[in-house]
């Protein structure tokens, strides 16, 4: 029943993009997002798009995977396009019918917002497609760790994320099992109004919660028995190190973004 | 009247790179009143087969019929479900109600029975698993011991009075006393109601003692099905599939190796009876 849900869309590979430090990818992703929001020109959108395509090729991620992450966007995209098209009324009128008026400015904005959304989701998907969830949380923790000075719980946050990622498939499997068990006891999950259906979920949710608590308890015990005591004095098995590759990637990306923004100014 | 598996195949995640046949081309019939033991190495497809028989998975190929009802058809599946009682591995994780009685009543209630009938069935089922209604009915299922929880969950399925009771490793993780209680409950239920039992188990001794027929699975295929005597003759075959013979069989073989003329036996009782008989003549 849950077999179609795939979480964490990592595409295993060994490309130069895969091998970049997760911190590099996260920081460059932020720069890329900023660029996508600052660009206000059709040609420059194409330039940013070309950059994203270049990275995709370099990462050797199949287009179908990227397409899959863009697919859920279709409705939002359509909605934003139509909204901008009809609501923004600047420049020459291109089309007029009853109360509908489409202007040149509206058309332009509608296209801009669509490109922005596609580039945004496509670009960030590239990061999650080429970085394992564990590496991603690791990178995030290291990037946020300077905030520890302000008592920001960077390590704890990263640990929570790691544990959540680890247990999502387990929970789905468990939910599937319990659901099957109750189905074979005659549970009817498909008919009735919304209240009846919510009520029918109780026999699945209660055992699921109980087993989650039990699991959390066991995990806490296992971690403590292996002397886990938070971030203090904790060293790492995989130490993140910037390499020349990271410098190159940063230089190329930031250079391109600078060029694009200069061209716009 | 029977559960018929007609060339049943099941593939998880069909079409993905990870897809593999968990069950392939299985032909098997479970007659009314049968006691079928199902053995096989971990990953041989036993649990998948159990779910196919309960109509919880739809076969990728072939058909599953319960008393002539095709589980591939939604309407017929609905009609067939009450006839098949499934006890999953670690069934105690499905308990959810405030009291044991309410939890056991969940299945019968879903069948749409009258309240009096539900209550009568709950009492009977709880009695049968050894959790008397008057003592355990109002207890929270979460306050029970591990073995009692397992029995409460079993009662929840028994109370639906299925014609076919299918159990996936019902004794896993229990202590010897708990195992015995579950086994005797199952045997007692079968004697009382005449329902058929399919029991997946890793314990060769239990299967040897209780099953009338045994099905051996390996890598999703039915390697052999037959009476315990037939199956346990195939020592080399079972070994090659990573299975052991029951302890009485091995003991008999050891005695044979030392020159005692032991007939083929596979239960404790049979071996004990033989040795006693022999002792009298020495
Ligand atoms: N939900 C599932 N998704 C994908 N593969 C599965 C799933 N459940 C079982 N399998 C696979 O199917 C095969 C048979 O599993 P199973 O029926 O659980 O065997 P058994 O109960 O004999 O240990 C195994 O190879 C297992 O990895
Ligand atoms: Mg199993």
Ligand 1 atom nearest to B217, measured from its CA: 22
Flag if A181 and B86 touch (Cβ within 8 Å). yes
pLDDT of res. B17: 64
Residues B203-231, mean pLDDT to the nearest whole number: 93
pLDDT of res. B66: 95
CB atoms within 10 A of CB A233: 6
B47 touches ligand 1 (CB under 6 Å): yes
pLDDT of res. A6: 43
Protein residue closest via CA to atom 5 of ligand 1: B12
B54 touches chain A (CB under 8 A): yes
pLDDT of res. A7: 46
Identify the residue whose tokens are 């990227």. A66
Residues of A in contact with B51 (CB under 8 A): 180
Flag if B56 and A206 touch (Cβ within 8 Å). no
For A5, the closest chain B residue by CA position comes to B13
From the CA of B220, the nearest ligand is: 1
At A94, the pLDDT band (50, 70, 90 cuts) reads confident
Give kind and range of the element (H or E) at residue A188: none
Residue among B270, B272, B252 nearest B262 (CA): B252
**Of A218 and A196, the one with more pLDDT:** A218
The DSSP line for chain B is: -EEEEEEEEEEETTTSTT-EEEEEEEEEEEETT-EEEEEE-TTSSHHHHHHHHTTSS--SEEEEEETTEETTSHHHHHHHGGGEEEE-SSGGGG--SSSHHHHHHHHHHHTT--HHHHHHHHHHHHHHTT--HHHHTTS-GGGS-HHHHHHHHHHHHHTT--SEEEEESTTTT--HHHHHHHHHHHHHHHHHH--EEEEE-S-HHHHHHH-SEEEEEETTEEEEEE-HHHHTT-HHHHHHTT-PPPHHHHHHHHHHHTT-------SHHHHHHHHHHHHHH-
Report DSSP state, residue A81.
H
pLDDT of res. A217: 94
pLDDT in tens, A35-90: 999 998 888 899 999 999 999 999 998 888 888 888 888 889 999 999 988 888 88
What is the rounded radius of gyration, in angstroms, for the C-alpha atoms of chain B? 20
- In a domain, residue A216? The reply is no
pLDDT of res. B18: 65
pTM: 0.80
Q: What is the mean pLDDT of chain B?
A: 92
- In a domain, residue A25? The reply is yes
Identify the residue whose tokens are 């130490």. A239
pLDDT of res. A190: 78
Which domain does A25 fall in, by range?
2-131+235-264
- In a domain, residue A143? The reply is no
CA distance B197 to chain A (A): 16
Interval between CA B49 and ligand 1 midpoint (Å): 10
For A214, the closest chain B residue by CA position comes to B93
* For testing contact with chain B, the best of A64, A185, A205 (most B CBs within 10 A): A185
Interval between CA B44 and ligand 2 midpoint (Å): 8
- Examine the pLDDT at B14 and tell me if it is beyond 90: no
pLDDT of res. A2: 44
- In a domain, residue A146? The reply is no
Q: How far is CA B33 from the centre of its chain?
A: 13
The total of structural domains in chain A comes to 1
pLDDT of res. A154: 87
Residue A1 pairs with which residues in a beta bridge?
A: none
**Of A67 and B119, the one with more pLDDT:** B119
CB atoms within 10 A of CB B241: 18
In angstroms, the CA A177 to CA A182 distance is 9
> Which superfamily does CATH assign the domain made up of B2-228 to?
P-loop containing nucleotide triphosphate hydrolases (3.40.50.300)
Protein residue closest via CA to atom 17 of ligand 1: B45
Protein residue closest via CA to atom 2 of ligand 1: B12
- Examine the pLDDT at A1 and tell me if it is beyond 70: no
Residue among B93, B123, B118 nearest B106 (CA): B118
Q: Residue B127 phi/psi, 5° resolution?
A: -60, -45
Task: Say if CB B167 and CB B150 are below 8 A apart.
Answer: no
Q: Could you say which of A186, A206, A207 has the minimum Cβ distance to residue B110?
A: A186
Q: Could you say which of A183, A185, A188 has the minimum Cβ distance to residue B160?
A: A185
Of all residues in chain B, the percent with pLDDT exceeding 90 is 80
Identify the residue whose tokens are 């319990």. A178
Residue A36 pairs with which residues in a beta bridge?
A: none
Give kind and range of the element (H or E) at residue A95: strand A93-97
pLDDT of res. B241: 92
- In a domain, residue A151? The reply is no
Flag if B96 and A202 touch (Cβ within 8 Å). yes
pLDDT of res. B15: 66
**Of B15 and A51, the one with more pLDDT:** A51
Protein residue closest via CA to atom 18 of ligand 1: B47
Listed by start position, the domains of chain B span 2-228
Touching B: A residues 156-195, CB under 8 Å: 174, 177-178, 180-188
In terms of average pLDDT, the best of A131-135, A192-196, A206-210 is A206-210
- In a domain, residue A162? The reply is no
At A188, the pLDDT band (50, 70, 90 cuts) reads confident
- In a domain, residue A225? The reply is no
Whole-angstrom CA distances from A42 to A39, A108, A109, B24 are 9, 9, 10, 56
- Examine the pLDDT at B280 and tell me if it is beyond 90: no
User: Which of B48, B57, B59, B223 to probe ligand 1 with, by most ligand atoms within 8 A of CB?
Assistant: B48
CA distance A168 to chain B (A): 18
In angstroms, the CA B141 to CA B148 distance is 9
Flag if A188 and B110 touch (Cβ within 8 Å). yes
Interval between CA B123 and ligand 1 midpoint (Å): 36
pLDDT in tens, A149-187: 888 888 888 888 888 888 888 898 999 999 999 999 988
Whole-angstrom CA distances from A189 to A57, A180, A197, A200, A204 are 45, 11, 6, 6, 10
pLDDT of res. A95: 81
CA dihedral A224, A230, A233, A236 (to 10 degrees): 90
pLDDT of res. A8: 56
Residue A96 pairs with which residues in a beta bridge?
A: A101
Protein residue closest via CA to atom 11 of ligand 1: B22
Residues B131-159, mean pLDDT to the nearest whole number: 94
- In a domain, residue A105? The reply is yes
B164 touches chain A (CB under 8 A): no
Protein residue closest via CA to atom 16 of ligand 1: B45
Number of inter-chain CB pairs under 8 A, A vs B: 57
In angstroms, the CA A210 to CA B200 distance is 27
At A5, the pLDDT band (50, 70, 90 cuts) reads very low
Touching A: B residues 62-91, CB under 8 Å: 81-82, 84-86, 88, 91
In angstroms, the CA B167 to CA B202 distance is 12
């Amino acid at each position: 029943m849950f077999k179609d849900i795939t979480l964490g869309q990592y595409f295993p590979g060994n490309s130069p993009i895969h091998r970049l430090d997760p911190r590099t990818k996260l920081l460059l992703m932020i720069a890329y997002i900023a660029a996508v929001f600052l660009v206000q020109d059709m040609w420059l959108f194409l330039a940013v798009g070309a950059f994203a395509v270049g990275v995709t090729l370099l990462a050797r991620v199949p287009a179908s995977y990227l397409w899959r992450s863009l697919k859920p966007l279709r409705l939002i995209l359509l909605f934003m396009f139509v909204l901008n098209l009809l609501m923004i009324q600047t420049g020459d009128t291109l089309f007029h019918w009853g109360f509908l008026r489409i202007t040149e400015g509206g058309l332009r904005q509608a296209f801009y917002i669509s490109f922005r959304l596609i580039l945004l989701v496509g670009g960030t998907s590239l990061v999650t497609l080429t970085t394992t969830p564990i590496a991603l949380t690791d990178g995030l923790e290291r990037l946020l760790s300077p905030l520890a000075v302000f008592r920001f719980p960077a390590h704890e946050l990263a640990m929570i994320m790691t544990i959540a990622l680890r247990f999502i498939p387990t929970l789905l499997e468990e939910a599937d099992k319990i659901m099957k068990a109750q189905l074979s006891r005659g549970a009817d999950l498909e008919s009735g109004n919304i209240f009846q259906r919510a009520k029918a979920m109780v026999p699945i949710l209660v055992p699921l919660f109980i087993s989650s608590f039990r699991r959390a308890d066991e995990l806490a015990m296992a971690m403590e028995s292996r002397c886990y005591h938070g971030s203090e004095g904790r060293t790492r098995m995989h130490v993140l190190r910037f390499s020349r590759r990271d410098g190159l990637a940063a230089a190329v990306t930031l250079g391109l973004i600078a060029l694009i923004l200069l061209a716009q100014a | 009247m029977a559960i018929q598996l007609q060339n049943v195949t099941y593939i998880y995640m069909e079409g993905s790179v990870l897809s593999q046949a968990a069950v392939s081309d299985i032909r098997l019939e479970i007659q009314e009143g049968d006691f079928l033991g199902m053995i096989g190495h971990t990953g041989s497809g036993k649990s998948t087969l159990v779910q196919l028989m309960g109509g919880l998975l739809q076969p990728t190929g072939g058909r599953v019929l319960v008393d002539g009802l095709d589980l591939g058809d939604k309407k017929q599946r609905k009609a067939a479900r009450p006839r098949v009682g499934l006890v999953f591995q670690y069934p105690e994780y499905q308990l959810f109600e405030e009291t044991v009685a309410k939890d056991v009543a969940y299945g019968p209630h879903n069948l749409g029975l009258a309240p009096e009938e539900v209550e009568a069935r709950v009492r009977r089922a709880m009695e049968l698993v050894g959790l008397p209604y008057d003592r355990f009915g109002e207890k929270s299922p979460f306050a029970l011991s591990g073995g009692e929880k397992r029995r409460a969950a079993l009662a929840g399925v028994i109370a639906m009075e299925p014609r076919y009771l299918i159990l996936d490793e019902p004794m896993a993780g229990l202590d010897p006393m708990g195992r015995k209680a579950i086994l005797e409950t199952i045997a007692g239920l079968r004697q009382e109601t005449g329902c058929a039992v399919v029991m997946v188990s890793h314990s060769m001794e239990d299967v040897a003692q209780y099953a009338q027929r045994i099905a051996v699975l390996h890598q999703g295929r039915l390697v052999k099905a037959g009476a315990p005597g037939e199956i346990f003759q195939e020592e080399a075959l079972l070994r090659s599939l990573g299975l052991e013979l029951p302890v009485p069989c091995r003991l008999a073989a050891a005695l044979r190796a030392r020159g005692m003329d032991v007939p083929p036996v596979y239960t404790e009782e049979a071996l004990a009876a033989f040795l006693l008989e022999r002792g009298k003549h020495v």
